[in-house]
Every structure is written in structure tokens, then in C-alpha cells.
Chains A and B, each alone.
Chain A
């Protein structure tokens, strides 16, 4: 089983749509979780950390289900500028980050 698994997509949605991404992780001892965003041929950028109680940052909502080892990201009111690859990331030992392969989002007018 892969350490971090994501649906690769692509998700093609119109502006204004709500879209949800899911991710599962294999190590039940993992403690820290993140969503990063990566634009084509650019570096990953931290979008948000994911907390046990769930957290929201503007149009973005992240949820964590430890029992199911499942992380989600919800984007409301999608913008053209949200088009990117969204990376589910789990902290491993010595603070290294373990990346999923990413889910591609394309928002169209």
C-alpha cells in the first residue's frame, strides 16, 4: 500500500463549483497532515495544515478522520486561479514530508 494515496483526477469544474479531494495514508502513527498546492513546474506551496477538529481558511476546508486514516479538502466557489495540483502530505520521521502523487484540478469559465 502506498504511504499516501490520492485520486489523480483531473477534476474539471466550472467556476463557482464546490469540489472535494480525498486522501488516505497508511501509517496510523502519523501526527501531522497538510495540503500543499503545486502549479505546473513550480515548487509545492503550503495551502493549509489539517487539524483533528477540522479547519477552514476562507473557501478551503480540511478534515481529518484518524480512524479511517482519511484526509479531505473542500474548495467552495472555485476560481480560475484555483487550477493546480493539490498534494496531500503527511509528516514522517525526522519531520520529513511524505507526498501523495497529487490531484489535478482544472477550473474553467
Chain B
């Protein structure tokens, strides 16, 4: 069964460093998303991506965040200068059409 894969599963980084979280969505999917979940809190929408551009982003997704789909298979989330409060589980999701999305296993980001 096709699945969304994310790497790494866990990343520890120092405050102020840049991180890139990587995702390989399901191959025939057209919509791509990043969500985050701070420990003990709800899943929050960050950004949606369709037709090679951002279609919507939340207030959380400020200038420190960016997304790319560099090669038609990978979908990356970059955080330019990490803060302690960026520590969370980051989930990538993809959808063929419509809102039924499939989630990757997540990357646990720890900023120290």
C-alpha cells in the first residue's frame, strides 16, 4: 500500500540553526500539506501546496518557514532559524483530490 514517508524520524537541532524536513508524498497525489503537533496539543495546519505553489498558509507559517517541491517527488519544509517553540512533531500529508489526506509518520523536531 502506498504511503507518505518522512525523514528523519527525529531531529535535534540547536536554536538558530536551519532545518529541512523531508517528505515523499504518494506518487499520484496532487495536494501536499505540512501540519505540526506540539506535544499534548492538537494538530495544526501550516501550509498547503498545489500545482507547484502555496495555496494557503496559516499564521504559524511565517517568514522563517518555506516549502519546496524540488524534483517532482520530494516535498520539503525548511525552518530558517529555529526557535525553542518550534519543537513539535511535523507531519507531511498528501491527497489525490478532495480533502481525504494521508499522513506520514512524522518528524519529531527538538530544538535545544
Contact = CB atoms under 8 A, between A and B. Distances in A.
| Chain A contact residues, majority secondary structure | mixed
B69 to A, nearest CB: 16
B91 A43 contact: yes
Contacts of A93: 56
Contact of B42 (A34, A43, A100): A100
Contact of A98 (B45, B91, B105): B45
Interface residues of A, number: 23
Given A44-B91, A95-B99, A102 B42 contact: yes
B42 A94 contact: no
Given A94-B48, A94-B56, A96-B56, A44 B103 contact: yes
Contacts of B50: 94
A89 to B, nearest CB: 9
Interface in A33-72: 34, 38, 41-46, 49
Interface of A: 32, 34, 38, 41-46, 49, 87, 91-102
Contact of A43 (B45, B100, B106): B106
B42 A97 contact: no
A81 to B, nearest CB: 19
Contacts of A45: 103
B98 interface: yes
